Amino acid sequence: MGVGSPSEQFGPLTGLRVLELGGIGPAPFGGMLLRDLGAEVTRIERVEHVDAPDISVFAHSILTRGRRSIALDITTPEGVAAVMGLIGDVDVLIEGFRPGVLERLGFAPETLWSRNPRLVIGRMTGWGQDGPLSAFAGHDINYLAVSGVLGGAVGPDGTPVAPLNMLGDFAGGGLLLAFGVLAAVHEATRTGTGQIVDAAIVDGVALFTAMLHAMRRHDMWDDGDIGGNLFDGGAPFYGVFRTRDDQWLAVGAIEPQFYNRFIDILGLSDQLNALGQHDKSHWAQTRALFVETIAERTQSDWLTAFDGVDACVSPVVRPADVLSEVHLDARRVYTDVDGMIQPAPAPRFSRYQTMTAAPTVAPGADTVAVLRNAGFDDTEIDSLIARGVARQRRT
């Protein structure tokens, strides 16, 4: 018996079954990516979230879209037994606890493999399963700080600027988790043996620095001039500029053909051609000209001027406006599901043209159905609910 009914979402991961132990941030994001591409994901939620969810449930609601949700108290022997009853029929277990917590709950990898030798165990943490910081708490900004990423991302006054909580938690964390899990599942299909995927955010964000360290090695990045390099705000042709109406233009005119078109539209070719695009000694002067010129016109005026011009100039779009942005709208990058803006599944596959964002799930909405599909009879289910080990959300 399965942990849930066949998924209504079809994609390249159709047939993959995932059990996710409830958590926040990167682990459910990894589960969302798998679910978006067709996997059947069942999320085990805390029983207290069914009737009185805390704020984290709402903040993470999109991340749990398309799941089946079962509410269990996995700190009890009965809850542990219920989870073990589900483990035998899934391919992947995802968890986001600190190292050692899974074992203390009674789900040591060896115990899980005794029930399902092919099981892939995706373990999502900030610092990893080992190392001197592994037992400590952290957040996105801490992982960016230690990995060397934050030190290279500075504001005009030289203060490091964190790019929201997206680069660490979701790109370096959840995306790495999904990637690692699929690699381990691929191997398990060949060998019949599962393994642990140690997905650490600090590892994931470190991967993003590969090009940076190559630039450092070849004297294309000056560690002594943070804020004065190509991608860290130093280059005037790679940055963000305020328009007359307090909107913003993002400029990435790195290559000479794009730069030349950019300064031509600005009307600055005569002044800037003699200075040299990559001569750092003129960057401050060039930036001042860009700031002054771009501030003379509105964002709309500049977008009209650059319309059809291949110069790497884009509007800075606010989150509230993404549904009306022309390119995003044409590709349906975002969608509105039940009144909530959310990103559509990605990447896209030629054989699956109709993948859509599924509705969010209410904690405990599928508790009875999941337990029944796993082979629990109604008497056992009623007993678990009566003792508070399981909870079904009322419709």
Q: In angstroms, rounded to a whole number, what is the distance separating the alpha carbons of residues 154 and 162?
A: 8
Question: Hey, what's the torsion of the CAs at 235, 238, 243, 246, to 10 degrees?
Answer: -100
Across the chain, which distance is largest between two alpha carbons, in Å?
84
Q: How far is the CA of 182 from the CAs of 10, 190, 194, 300, in angstroms?
A: 17, 13, 11, 44
User: From CA 25, how far away is CA 94, in angstroms rounded?
Assistant: 13
Q: Decide if 60 is catalytic.
A: no
- Token readout for 376 is 């629990």
Cβ(111)–Cβ(87) below 8 Å:
no
Q: Which of 139, 198, 222, 264 is an active site residue?
A: 139
Q: What share of the chain is helix, strand, coil (3-state, %, to 5)?
A: 40, 15, 45
CA 76 to chain centre: 32
Q: Is 282 a catalytic residue?
A: no
Q: How far apart are CA 193 and CA 325, in angstroms?
A: 47
- 3-state class (DSSP) for residue 366: coil
Locus of tokens 């040299």: 276
| DSSP-derived 3-state class of residue 376 | coil
For residue 188, the SS3 value is: helix
Buried b / exposed e across 257-274, counting CB within 10 Å, b at 16+?
ebbbbbbebbebeeebee
Angle CA 380–381–384, to nearest 5: 90
Q: Rounded distance, CA 171 to CA 243, Å?
A: 31
Which residue out of 169, 203, 232, 366 is catalytically annotated?
169
By annotation, the residues acting in catalysis are: 139, 169
